[in-house]
Chains A and B, each alone.
Chain A
Amino acid sequence: NAGVTQTPKFRVLKTGQSMTLLCAQDMNHEYMYWYRQDPGMGLRLIHYSVGEGTTAKGEVPDGYNVSRLKKQNFLLGLESAAPSQTSVYFCASSYPGSYNEQFFGPGTRLTVL
């Protein structure tokens, strides 16, 4: 099993460009999450999903959109990238029976110039 994978691993964007980050999990987990990690800020929740076709906002949702069309995939979109979105993005998945223990992907390092 691959666990949680993220594509791409690295990306550099110019201000105003758009992109989509893909998270995939093969553990049949119901819940999926997108976090961003910034120095001194820990992990902050952007958006999450408790099932296929459902999404909800986290702590810092502005400037991002998400979709969960398939149970195993959770997409994070940046419609018009800004330098403030330079960060490392982590995806995680969990299932409710495990107290939502988070299984993390390897991260995507995004730089917006």
Chain B
Amino acid sequence: ILNVEQSPQSLHVQEGDSTNFTCSFPSSNFYALHWYRWETAKSPEALFVMTLNGDEKKKGRISATLNTKEGYSYLYIKGSQPEDSATYLCAQNRDDKIIFGKGTRLHILP
């Protein structure tokens, strides 16, 4: 994998349900992986930066795991709420740059 890939592209989840989505990235020369939350008409905001294989980060109902050997990260949202509706971006450090995936667009259904 050369690019940062995210799946699914879009996701509809019932309010109260839990969900997760995936980020895949090149595992060679790994340095750090980022997750950002991007609400409509706003700017992306950082959720997590993860650097070590097996890392698990948590912020409220949102958590993320990292597997640097196989090149993937999962983002989990427990008990989805309407305010979780956003695009979730994954990004990987490459030298001085950050390479973003295309995002997973999450819609929470009332």
Task: Give A residues with C-beta under 8 Å from B.
Answer: 31, 33, 35, 40-45, 48, 50, 56, 58-59, 90, 94, 96, 98-107
Residue of B nearest to A42 (CB): B102
Q: Is the CB of B43 within 8 A of A104?
A: yes
B93: Cβ under 8 A from any A Cβ: yes
Q: List chain A residues, Cβ under 8 A from B36.
A: 102
Contact of A50 among B31, B93, B96, B103 (CB under 8 A): B96
Interface size class of B (residues with CB under 8 A): 20 to 34
Q: Is the CB of A102 within 8 A of B31?
A: no
Q: List chain A residues, Cβ under 8 A from B97.
A: 33, 45, 48, 58
Contact of A33 among B32, B42, B98 (CB under 8 A): B98
Nearest Cβ in chain B — how far from A87, in angstroms? Answer: 15
Write 19 A-B pairs (CB below 8 A) sorted by A numbering: A33-B98, A40-B102, A41-B102, A42-B100, A48-B97, A58-B97, A96-B96, A99-B34, A99-B49, A99-B51, A99-B93, A100-B32, A101-B46, A102-B34, A102-B36, A102-B46, A104-B45, A105-B43, A107-B43
Q: Is the CB of A102 within 8 A of B98?
A: yes
Nearest Cβ in chain A — how far from B12, in angstroms? Answer: 18
B99: Cβ under 8 A from any A Cβ: yes
Q: List chain B residues, Cβ under 8 A from A100.
A: 32, 93, 96, 98
